[in-house]
Every structure is written in C-alpha cells, then in structure tokens.
Amino acid sequence: MKVSLVTLSALLPSAFALWPLPTGLSLGTTPLKLSKGFDIKIGIPNPPADLVAAVSRAKGFLANDKLQALVVDRGASSASAIAGAKSLPSLTLSLATTAKGSSLKSISAEAIAPIESRVEGYTLTVPADGSGAVLKANSSLGLLHGLTTFGQLWYDLPGPSSRTTYSLSAPIQITDAPAYPYRGFMLDTARNFFPVSDIKRTIDAMSWVKINTLHWHVVDSQSFPLVVPGYTVLSEKGAYSASKVYSPSDVKDIVTYAAARGIDVIPEIDTPGHTSVISKAFPEHIACPEATPWASFANEPPAGQLRLASEATVNFTAGLLKAAAGLFESKFFSTGGDEINANCYTQDNETQASLASSNKTFLQALDTFTQANHAALRSVGKSAVVWEEMVLDNPVTLANDTIVMVWISSADVAAVAETGFRIVHAASDYFYLDCGHGGWVGDFPTGNSWCDPFKTWQHAYVFDPVANLTAAQAERVLGGQSLLWTEQSGPENLDSTTWPRAASTAELFWSGPGGDVQAALPRLHEQVYRFRQRGVAANALQPEWCALRPGACDLTA
C-alpha cells in the first residue's frame, strides 16, 4: 500500500519532512499544534530503560529542533491557521495486539537479534481533533522507529513570539515497515582516525533515518586503532598515536550507544590483505611488509598481507579475530577478503615454502585460512561477513549463513547472488561516498579518483536492488549501505561527506526502490536542515533559494 511518491508530493501543501518515506501513509490538511504540556507516555508496563531513554531523546528533539518549514515565508503565513488549531496533548506508546502479554525486549537486544527476525514496523496515528496520538508496534525497534517518525512531523513558527510547534498535515496515519532488513553505513577508521564523539554523532544521524547497521572497518594496513585484549601490542605499535585508539571501553561505549538507537555494529578486521600494520607488532605473520614499489604488492600503500599459508599465522589470525569479536555484541563479524595481491605471496619465500610443505595451492591455503577464522568466530557465536572476492575471484568454503558484500561493481551482484549467499549492496559505482575527489597519491597531478565520478544522492537513490536478478536471487538481497573510505576524509569532512547522501541510500532500502528524485528532493532538504539543527553538519544540496521553493530548481522547472 505504498503511496506513489509523485502522488504524495502533489498532496503536500507545503514542506513535509518524513525520511525515509513511510511505506504506508495517509495525511490530512488540518493544522495541529503540540500542546504546551505535550508529553510522550509509555503505555507499557516495565518499559526497557533504552526505550525510556529514546522517549526522552524524542522529547528533547521536539523541544530543541526549532526547525522552520522550508518555504519562502518559513511558515509565517500559516500562523493564524495554527493559532486556531487544536492541540495535541500527548503521544502514547503501546504494544500492538499481537505483542500484548509478551515481555518487551530492549531496543538494544532487538538491534542485534538475528537480522531476518527483527521486527521494525509500527503504526502511528495523529488525530486532528485534539485527542492523543498513538504509536503502536510489536517491538521496541518499531516503537523507536515510530518515535523517530513522529519527530519529523513538526515545525516551529518563525518570529519572536512564543514557540509554536505545529503540523499542517493532520490527521496523520502511518503504517510503516522496512523493505529490507539491512540498511547500513560503513566507516573506515584506519586510513584516518575518528574520535569516539564523531562516531557517536554519526550513529545519532544514522538513527534519524532508520539506518540499522554500522559496518565498522576499524583497522587496515595503515593503522590499527582497535585495542584487542591479548593483542594490545597491535594498537600500541600500529595506532597513529597513543590517543588515536579505541579502547575496549570506547568500543563498549560505541556499541551500547548504537544498540540503544537500534543499530548493530558489525566490526571488520580485513584479512588476509589490508593487514600491513600487523607487521609492526608481529613481523613473522606478514608477507611483503611495506614492500616497494607498493603498487606491485598492494592496491594502496603500504603493502603487506597475512601469511595465510602459515599454520602459525592461521592460528594467530583466528585468535585475533576471536578476541576482537569478544568486544562486540553483533552476531556478525567481517573478515573482509578483498584485494588479495598474488605477487606479494609469490615473492614471499615463507609463503611459498608453506605452500610447498603443505602441498596446497594458494586457493586451498586461503580456504583453510578462511575456514579456521570463521570457525573461531562461530565458536563465539558470530556469523561471517565477507567481500565479494571470497565467492567470485577466490571462492572459498563458506557457511550458509555468510553474508557477502558486493563492492567492486553492481555488475557483480547477479553472480554473487547466484552463489546462494545473502547479499548486501555496497557497490562502488553507487554507494561509495569517497569517490570523485581526485587521485590522492603523491606524484600524479593528472590522477583521477579510481571510482570517479562523485556518487550523488540522486544516483544512489534510483539504484534498483533487484536489477537483473531472478526472483530467487532477489530473495537473497538483505539490503545495502553507503560506505566512506577515508583516504581523503577525516573528522573535518565526515558530516558533510556523509550527509545527506547516506540518507538517500537509507530511504532506498527502507521505503524500497522506485522513488523519484524530483519528489524526494524537498524532503531531503528538510533532512539537511533538521540535521543541522541537531548538530550534524549536513551538506547543502542546492542554493537555499531552491531549498525554500520545492521543485523550482528542477531541471524541467
């Protein structure tokens, strides 16, 4: 019962800021304001503490957003209609019938439950007659998402008069649930480091657009900021500095913070490539460490890969992954597997000797290595996530519950799907937020971004998650994510590079494909302005003149 975006757009008398668009939505045209004593009530016995906290945050946003409608007069001409409008006294959270009698789990518990089992839907009713609004769901996640939606319904009037928080679209009836269970954002904290505060702010922003997964590419060849119990020498010798680390308590802080906002944090320790930095602490486990010319040994400097054919290295890696996995609550852990450089191993006498003594091919050794790592993770309750090479270029034995991420190209999706594994869309040609900023190597003045051009929000928005897939293959698509690799990013441009583009992808995988950019743009502007009100420096999409005049800057306007 999805409302056509074009129809919806025509319905809206002025600005309207829901993002992602609910999958079922009915709007009125009656003004409604929040009562001065407006409150959010939890009509559920013994509510989980993180739900109580979510309600508190929602009330904070209502009090502090102070977002004015994105129309030329910022809503001033509606003032008299609003002055005479009914007041909404309250929003009451309650469990849907099917959940009554059962004990409501916490948001944090539900956020990390098996992905296909998560219940994220909700219904939200905002009457126009002055009676209370009701948010119902079968889950804490659903209630959380409904609270987020409720917070997007309101504007403040401009001017010096006492604050009036209003909607022009009552009564509102929303029945919402995501099209895909995986809606993610990947952050690389190894090429450049991001303080915990940046990650938590990003988690906040993710939650505002119902992104439910932070894929944390925490370490890579350049630095090892993760403090892993039993392996602390890795960060001691491999972090950029003693202060540029994520301690176990930092990780717990991030994981807890995310979970309370409905977000699963899936860590990645990429193997066997992208591991050069391990050589600082364990030189015996790394082939071709910082070998030059780096371009002969790796896709970017510095070169260095785990000696995957060495039994000692297999044991080391499995132990490291298991220890690292213990820091996280997620049921998933990514072991990477991308961009393995053959020459690095060919030139490494140790690896060649290991292969010879074990009478294994490279691929057989990779299979042994991967199985050992995944078995170690499985022993602590984790399913594996891998990059696409692990099923295409270097197909290894993987458990059926493995998730495969497509990154090289969207053209690879069908081939990956055909392997039978679950898929996450993460293709560079649609979802890489870092593309289009030129080549970053030091002596290449004509160098362009390898994944040029810049991926606009529009480009990602019109991606079709099931293009060229059979029905059976399409069933394996869990969702998708934006990704920020940080060779050319740091705290300085994190917000403006990520937002609002990651929100575009969030709507694609929540509301489902088929939206059109013309209808979406005014709502996306609203996100930008609301994000800024909440302290996230989302980037301008257009001149403010356009933001205040929905449609006026369309190509065909």
Residues serving a catalytic function are 339
Please say whether the beta carbons of 510 and 24 come within 8 A.
no
Rounded to whole angstroms, the Cα distance separating 221 from 305 reads 9
Output the smallest distance, CB 536 to a copy of itself, in A. 9
Output the smallest distance, CB 449 to a copy of itself, in A. 7
Output the smallest distance, CB 544 to a copy of itself, in A. 5
Output the smallest distance, CB 417 to a copy of itself, in A. 24
- The two most distant CA atoms of the chain are separated, in Å, by 85
Would you tell me the crossing angle of helices 362-379 and 349-358 to the nearest 10 degrees? 90
Specify the DSSP element, H or E, that contains 90: strand 86-95
Nearest in space to 488 (alpha carbons), one of 426, 438, 444, 450: 438
**Between residues 36 and 444, which has the closer beta carbon with respect to a copy of itself?**
444
Nearest in space to 501 (alpha carbons), one of 444, 430, 421: 430
b/e 391-408 (16+ beta carbons within 10 angstroms → b): bbebebebeeebbbbbbb
Q: How far is CA 127 from the centre of its chain?
A: 33
**Between residues 23 and 486, which has the closer beta carbon with respect to a copy of itself?**
486
Pairing of strands 86-95, 25-42: parallel
**Between residues 360 and 459, which has the closer beta carbon with respect to a copy of itself?**
459
**Between residues 328 and 531, which has the closer beta carbon with respect to a copy of itself?**
531
In order, the DSSP letters of 446-482 are T---TT-S---HHHHHT--TTTT--HHHHTTEEEEEE
Report CA-CA distances (Å) from 257 to 105, 200, 209, 361.
17, 7, 16, 44
Output the smallest distance, CB 511 to a copy of itself, in A. 16
Nearest in space to 158 (alpha carbons), one of 550, 552, 548, 553: 548
**Between residues 358 and 539, which has the closer beta carbon with respect to a copy of itself?**
539
**Between residues 2 and 437, which has the closer beta carbon with respect to a copy of itself?**
437
Output the smallest distance, CB 160 to a copy of itself, in A. 11
